[in-house]
Structure 1
Amino acid sequence: MAEIEFAGLKVSGGKLLLVIPLLGSILAAMWGGFELYQRLLTAEQAVTEYVSPDFSSYDEALAVIDTKMGNVESLTTALERELDRLQADIDVVESIARSTDDTVAEATRELRDDVYALEERVNDSLRDINNELRSMRDDLEERIERILDNPLNTEE
């Protein structure tokens, strides 16, 4: 195998195959460490140079939104109270309407009963009048017959 001599040190080929990757790994680790350190320095510089944005317009907008939300809440509360009052009024009107409906139904029943009773009385009266008229007619016919059958009545 091949041997390399460097500064009085003789290194054989097998050892060289171990030393070269080891040196590459050490150099790569050093380069990675330097890169990491540089990124940390860059991040530190970015943090120290960071200027907080102006949020005052957001704060003002949030205050306006908060005021509007307060107004909406008070309007909602007022609407709820008004709806409760309206519901109470509707309940009263509904109760009055039902009572009126019941009263009208009762009055209609009474009126119908009165009309039927009146109709029955009128029919009874008409029957009585018809019977009386028949009786009078029969009586009148009988009288006419008697007058006509009377021998004293000889006018011809």
Structure 2
Amino acid sequence: MTGPAPEWENRLEALWASSDELPEEEFRERMAKLTAEIADEHPGVAHYELGGAEDSTGRPEQAAELYFKAIDAGLQGTRRRRLTVQLASTLRNLGRPQEGHDLLTAELARASDELDDALAACLTLMLVDLGRPKEAAGLALGTLAPHLPRYNRSMANYARIITEEARAAGA
């Protein structure tokens, strides 16, 4: 299944680029109007983008509802991965870090792409909120290790050890 037309994507990008200059209500109204154009053909994309507008204007409850609708509509690909980060973060902000943890863990098992580090960073926050700071530190260190100019192997090993110790201790 192909996504929305490039012309629509360009208008979406322009709207997001103007989001900081627009009053929040106007931004949400413009997003609702733009996503209505594709809602029948691409409901997952429409719900996701509308959810993002709600999220970015401080309405996490509305955002979460729309994100779940996007999942139910079968949203796939990069937008699905982005949605997972955004929804997990929203759930965390709503005091539901276990749900966010479960979403992120499942998504990380599904595929691998350029968003893996973002998923891991968000998962780190969930682990902290769940009272598992050592496991969070191990995950963060393990995610960071490949990006270091040196000491990659050592840091990756430290990350593995911290994570194994934390899991063994039930932390």
TM-score by length of 1: 0.14
- Structure whose residues are more often strand by fraction: 1
Which of structures 1 and 2 has the bigger CA Rg? 1
TM-score by length of 2: 0.13
Higher relative contact order (CA 8 A, sep 6+): 2
